[in-house]
Structures are given as structure tokens and as C-alpha cells.
Amino acid sequence: MASQDQEHFRDSIGTINEEGKRSWVYPKKPVGKLYEYRKLVSYVLLIFLFGAPFIHINGNQFLMFNVLERRFNIFGFPFWPQDFHLFVIIMITGVVFVVLFTVAFGRLFCGWICPQTIFMEMVFRRIEYWIEGDRGKQMRLDKMPWNAEKLRKRSIKWSIFFVISFLIANVFLAYLIGSDRLIEYITDGPANHVGTLISLLIFTSVFYFVFAWFREQVCIIVCPYGRLQGVLLDNKSIVVAYDHKRGEKEAGRAKFKKSEDRAATGKGDCIDCAQCVQVCPTGIDIRNGTQLECVNCTACIDACNQMMAAVNLPKDLIRYASEENIEKKAKFTFNARLKGYTAVLVILLGVLTGMLFLRNDVEATVLRLPGQLYEHKGEDIISNVYTYKLINKTTKEIPEVHFELISHKGIIRVVSHDRIQVPEQGLAEGTLFIEVDSHELEDEKEKLKIGVYSEDQLIETTTTVFLGPRSYK
């Protein structure tokens, strides 16, 4: 752990040098068990990300966030503006989930699941390794004058980066406007959709800028999650941590000498090889402790474990652990705190899933016509006029829809037609009259319960207010 006189590294972010200029990061290609696990997780998530907008369940796109037309599909469930309360609950649940997850497991999300990390480290960075080589070759290429080799490699790399950015922009557009419409635009040709093409090129430019130049700065400067981490983490949070107790011991870290008995000299297990620094994608030294720039990608764990194995020292000098684990020299355990937080997270996900499945397929609204009083029909019949709106959230037409009073005896008369057809993912609206016998009313404002039927099946219930006279005698 860095001493007080060595805390100057916290005065600025890791990618800015002493002159205030960008310090370009050239991370060494990671190799190791955790890196292989990360690749597997990343490829699964990439397949999901690219495939989700093209998967349809019951005619609904699996995931769609059409903010322009206020149409949302989440896991195949269509959401309308009338489902805004569910959206709010989802957002609240998401915030609570992020807070609890960060407190318990640190920035595990950033290193393993975040799209920025996945694209940067598992797509663009790997292409860069393939074309330009590892850390040393990239540094030499960068310092090289613009000759044929440099021009060829950079042109190939930048061209591939642009193509991938264009592909990402198309997938992003599929989430925004729907995959069916995107395919329609492609088959029609760009000349027929110039506005969409311009928007697509803008998104492409943004993605290209992020992955070709801005890179790790997104995590350090732009992303608010890194700042949130500083507030939420405590000494019990699980992070990628350097075991300074074991690494420093009494005499501190020192270079490895083959014939030396390090235990006898009091030197720590850290051999000061700086492999953990060279492999870091944000350019920090994990041995200085938890830092804003660290995204918990585990590259330093793999690098350190390889070096420890090479010099015949125990692995896991850098590992997933809490500061409390390090101080007490205790191994990581799934303690009661983590169990409690995990249980809350599972419950939140369960509640959210339940709400999605219990959501009504039909939304019915019956409202009194503004400015209209009740009307007498005959001696005992009171009539009120209403407007109705039926929203069909499914991909099938709802036939033969009619209304019936459930709470009171009375008649519902729909203006123009008695049987209503509600189109798929559409709405039907109109006017209706409700006639109730005055003897059924107990107050001047009566709450009525109305059933919405498709043929003989009850598909939804709703309530409305019925206005009557103050006295019925």
C-alpha cells in the first residue's frame, strides 16, 4: 500500500501526465484463467446484444426502446405510456439494485458486463493486438514516422474500427426504431431514407471516436458509475485488491533473486515486476490501493498469478477481496452481509419479473364527458355520457368487445356500434351511455365497476364515477 508521501498519484487521473496532456495507455495483452472466463462471458453478451432486437416473442420485439414513438418492449412485453408506473418501478428497482450490488461486489459490473468494457477489450483491443501486435510493438509503431508500414497498419485498423462502429450503430438503431423497420430501410436503399442515414453516420462517428481515441477515458471521465463507486464502497466491499500485507511485509517489495531466501530477509512476495501495471487497460498501479480508474477487469490478477507461478511463490497476491480481508489476513468468505444483500437483489428481481408477467394485456379507461350532467330518462332511469378508450397491448386483434355493469344493475349503450374490434397493438375509442335505475344509487356520486368482455370472456375491469341527483324521492 502506498505511504503518505507516495499519495501524489491521487492528485490526477492515471491517463494524464505531469504536463496535463493525454498519457496514452498501451496495455499488454492479458493471458490467464480469468481472462478466458471474461472472453466467454463477453461473447455470450455480444451475441445477446446483437441478437436481441431481431428476436420476436408473440410478434413483439424482444427488446425495443422507441422513445420517439413511446413504444417499449422489454423481454417481449410491450409497454405503453399507460404502463408508466411500471417503468418508474423498474427504474427505482434498478437504482436500488445498482447501489446494493456496488456496495457488496464493487465494480464487478464494469469489468465483466459493461458494454464499453466488452467492446473495448474484447473487440477493438483484440483487433489492435492482431494488426499492430502487443504492447511493445504498439509503442514502437506509435513513435515510428509515417512510413508505408505504419500507414498500412493504421489504415487497416481504422477501417475495421469504422465498419464495426457502423454495425454497432445499426444495432443501436434496431433497438430504437425496431428491427423490422431497420430491415425495411436497408432494403429500400439509403437514398429513400437520407435522414436516417445521416443519423446513423452520426452514431457511427460517436462510436468510432469512443473506441478509436477516447477509449478508457469514458470509464474515468464520463461514466458516473466510477464516481458513485467512491461513495458506495467501504472496507467490506469486494474489489480487485493487492494484498499489501503479504506483498510488502517488513522490508517492502523487491526484485526477485533466485538464490535469495525472501522469507528470511523480510521482503514481501511482490517482486516489483510491474506486470500488473503493464497489463492494466486504464494505466494504474493496483498496488496503490483502490482507485477511481480501476474497473475490476482482473487483468492484473492473471498477470500477477503468472509471475508468482514463475518464481514459485503462492498465487493470489492480487485477488478479489475486501480491505477488511487484507487487513485481517482472512480469505474471502460469502459472509452474512453479502448473503443479505444478495437476498435483497434476488427479491427485487423476483418482484420485477412478477410485475412484468402480471401486467394486463388490455387497458380500459371510461371517463365521464367533461361539462355534462346526468340526464333523466323516464321516471326512474338516470343516464350519464362517457368516453372510453381500449388499448390492446398484444399482437392479436381482440374481437367482439362489449361492456357490462358489474357493481350495479343497469345498461351500457355504445354509440354507433355495440361490438367493438380492438386492433393488435392499437386502440379503440368512442362514446357510451350508462343508464342506472335511481333506486340503485345511494349517493350523488356513485362508483361503478365495469367489466370489459371479448365475446363471453372477461378480459379487464375498470371503474368510473356515476353522477345522480341529490335526492331520489
d(CA 61, CA 402): 30
Averaged pLDDT for residues 81-86: 74
Is 261 part of a structural domain of the chain?
yes
- For 158, other C-beta atoms within 10 Å of its C-beta total 13
Nearest to 379 by CA among 438, 433, 435, 434: 438
279 plus 417 within the same structural domain:
no
CA dihedral 300, 241, 248, 28 (to 10 degrees): 10
Q: In whole numbers, what is the pLDDT of the chain averaged over residues? A: 87
Is 170 part of a structural domain of the chain?
no
Is 449 part of a structural domain of the chain?
yes
96 plus 237 within the same structural domain:
yes
312 plus 442 within the same structural domain:
no
342 plus 372 within the same structural domain:
no
446: domain CATH number is 2.60.40.10
d(CA 216, CA 307): 26
Averaged pLDDT for residues 47-63: 90
Q: Please give the residue range of the domain that contains residue 366.
A: 362-467
Whether the Cβ atoms of residue 431 and residue 399 lie closer than 8 Å to each other: no
Averaged pLDDT for residues 107-114: 90
C-alpha cell at 86: 411500471
Is 188 part of a structural domain of the chain?
no
324 plus 375 within the same structural domain:
no
| Number of compact structural domains in the chain | 2
126 plus 251 within the same structural domain:
yes
Whether the Cβ atoms of residue 450 and residue 406 lie closer than 8 Å to each other: yes
Is 90 part of a structural domain of the chain?
yes
367 plus 354 within the same structural domain:
no
Tell me which of 359, 393, 414 is where a domain ends. 359
State what percent of residues in the chain have pLDDT above 70. 96
CA dihedral 415, 416, 421, 426 (to 10 degrees): -70
247 plus 355 within the same structural domain:
yes
Is 31 part of a structural domain of the chain?
yes
Write the CA distances from 244 to 15, 158, 305, 423, integer angstroms. 24, 41, 15, 66
Tell me which of 311, 344, 359 is where a domain ends. 359
Over the chain, what HEC string results? CCCHHHHHHHHCCCCECCCCCECCCCCCCCCCHHHHHHHHHHHHHHHHHHHHHHCEECCEECEEEECCCCEEEECCEEECHHHHHHHHHHHHHHHHHHHHHHHHHCCHHHHHCCHHHHHHHHHHHHHHHHHHCCHHHHHHHHHCCCCHHHHHHHHHHHHHHHHHHHHHHHHHHHHHHCHHHHHHHHHHCHHHCHHHHHHHHHHHHHHHHHHHHHCCHHHHHHCHHHHHHHHHCCCCCCEEEECHHHHHECCCCCCCCCCCCHHHHCECCCCCCCHHHHCCCCCCCHHHCCCCCCCCCCHHHHHHHHHHHHCCCCCCCEEEECHHHHHCCCCCCCCHHHHHHHHHHHHHHHHHHHHHHHCCCEEEEEEECCCCCCEEECCCEEEEEEEEEEEECCCCCEEEEEEEECCCCEEEEECCCCCEEECCCCEEEEEEEEEEEHHHCCCCEEEEEEEEEECCEEEEEEEEEEECCCCCC
d(CA 178, CA 446): 44
pLDDT in tens, 137-146: 999 999 999 9
Amino acid, single-letter form, for residue 188: D
CA 358 to chain centre: 23
What confidence tier does 50 reach under pLDDT thresholds 50, 70, 90? very high
280 plus 334 within the same structural domain:
yes
pLDDT in tens, 158-189: 999 999 999 999 999 999 999 999 999 999 98
67 plus 124 within the same structural domain:
yes
Tell me which of 313, 330, 359 is where a domain ends. 359
pLDDT at 1: 45
Averaged pLDDT for residues 369-380: 84
349 plus 446 within the same structural domain:
no
Averaged pLDDT for residues 58-85: 81
pLDDT at 72: 84
- DSSP-derived pairing of the beta strands 375-377 and 381-392: antiparallel
- Residue count of the chain, please give it: 473
Is 209 part of a structural domain of the chain?
no
pLDDT in tens, 280-326: 999 899 998 888 888 999 999 999 999 999 999 999 999 998 888 89
What confidence tier does 5 reach under pLDDT thresholds 50, 70, 90? very low
More confident residue, 381 or 14: 381
Is 378 part of a structural domain of the chain?
yes
339 plus 368 within the same structural domain:
no
